[in-house]
Structure formats: C-alpha cells, structure tokens
Amino acid sequence: MWQSIKSKPVHEFQGVRQGGVWSPTAYKVFINTLLKTFEMNGLGAHLGSIYCGIPTVADDVTLISNNPYEMQTMLNVLSDYANKHRYIISSQKSCTLQYGSKTEHLFTLNGQPLQNSVKATHLGIDHDVNSKYGVKDCVPNRIQTARKTVYALMGAGLHGLNGLNPKVSMHLMKIYVLPRLLYGLDSIILSVSRYEITLRILHQAF
C-alpha cells in the first residue's frame, strides 16, 4: 500500500529465509500457542507468581521444572505439538541438566532418551551442574571470546604501532569487543572472584 492505494496481490512462494530479520518474529507467532498451553496449565517453574517454565528465544526452547514427573509431561506436550505441526525436535541436539538431585532421572523426547549432561550452552551462556552457581565456565569463556575478537580486529589495524587512530580503536573496542565480553553476565550470579576478573579485564582494555 502506498498513499492509501493498494497494489495487486503478490504471490509469495519462497517464504521467510533462514536467519532473516523476520524469522525470529515469525517463529514466535508460530510457537505462541505452545507457550500459552504451558502457561495456562501451570506446567513448569514459577518465581512467586511469575511463570517461567518455558523461556524461549525464536526456536531455542528451554523447559524448567522442579519436578521430574512434571518435566516428562512437559516433554510429552512439546513432542505432541511438534508432531501435530509436522516438525522434528532432535533428541540428539537436546539434553537435560539436573541441579541438586541425588537421583539421576531419565527423560525421553518423542520416545527417544535424552542425554543427561553436566554442562550445556544455552543462548551463548555456559551452564554446569557441579559449581555453586552453575556458571563457572561463563566468565572464562566470555574473556576468551573477547580476546579472539581483539585478535581478529588486529588485521584491520587494532594495534598500538602504526595502527588505527586511538579514538577509532576505542570505538571498535566498545562496539565489538565489549559486548562480547559482557554478553549474558547480567543474567547470571557472579562469584566475587569472577566479578574481580571481569573488572580487571575491563580496566586493562579501557
């Protein structure tokens, strides 16, 4: 439509390309019915009165529950929804993390067993079941990622001798390196030692 004038119908045969700007929003519209089903039935974890049983970003779905039997029910609902809408959730690409449980519970997804892991990465944040806060590898991995980013930018002149203008270098650090260093740290609990390491890296860089 342009200035209240409608064009002729345009037939779309290609659909939304993978990785496109519209892809995450389109998938959220598609999967919203599943999210509402979990919330309306109270399946999953709650923080007080706030439901947080199925945090989802695009097609990255996480199920959270304090009860192993409820967790299996959630997995069954998820697989039924996937089968109904004709898409496949790979059990090989899925895993479970069990926190504070003395008994190891076995879960299945669409009849296939899920691997019980001691660590996993969710949305770029590394989680584990053995450390106090469950994120002991997060800060070291963020630092490693930031260093790799700096090394990658050195070819573009991000170095001291005969390199870019210091103001340009600082700008590159702020828009490329700093976001990768701090990504996800606002959503986890940092120990004092990890917090001090992060501050030291920040002071060295800036």
pLDDT of residue 50: 94
SS3 29: helix
pLDDT of residue 1: 67
Query: Is residue 196 predicted with pLDDT exceeding 90?
Result: no
Helix ranges (H only) for the chain are: 23-40, 68-84, 138-154, 166-172, 178-182, 192-205
CB 63 within 8 A of CB 75: yes
Task: Please write the tens of the pLDDT for every residue from 157-174.
Answer: 887 677 788 888 888 889
pLDDT of residue 10: 80
Residue 206: pLDDT band by 50, 70, 90 thresholds?
low
- Percentage with pLDDT > 90 across the chain: 40
Prediction pTM value: 0.76
Task: Please write the tens of the pLDDT for every residue from 19-38.
Answer: 777 887 888 888 999 999 99
| Pairing outcome for strands 56-57 and 60-61 | antiparallel
pLDDT of residue 25: 82
Task: Please write the tens of the pLDDT for every residue from 56-115.
Answer: 888 889 999 999 999 999 999 999 999 999 988 888 889 999 998 888 899 999 889 999
φ, ψ (nearest 5 deg) of residue 140: -55, -40
- Percentage with pLDDT > 70 across the chain: 98
SS3 20: coil
| Cα 111 from Cα 133, distance rounded (Å) | 32
Report how far apart, in Å, the C-alpha atoms of 21 and of each of 26, 101, 180 are: 9, 40, 21
More confident residue, 11 or 65: 65
Domains of the chain by residue range: 23-117, 138-205
Mean pLDDT for the chain?
Answer: 87
Residue with token string 């299945």: 108
Residue with token string 């109270």: 42
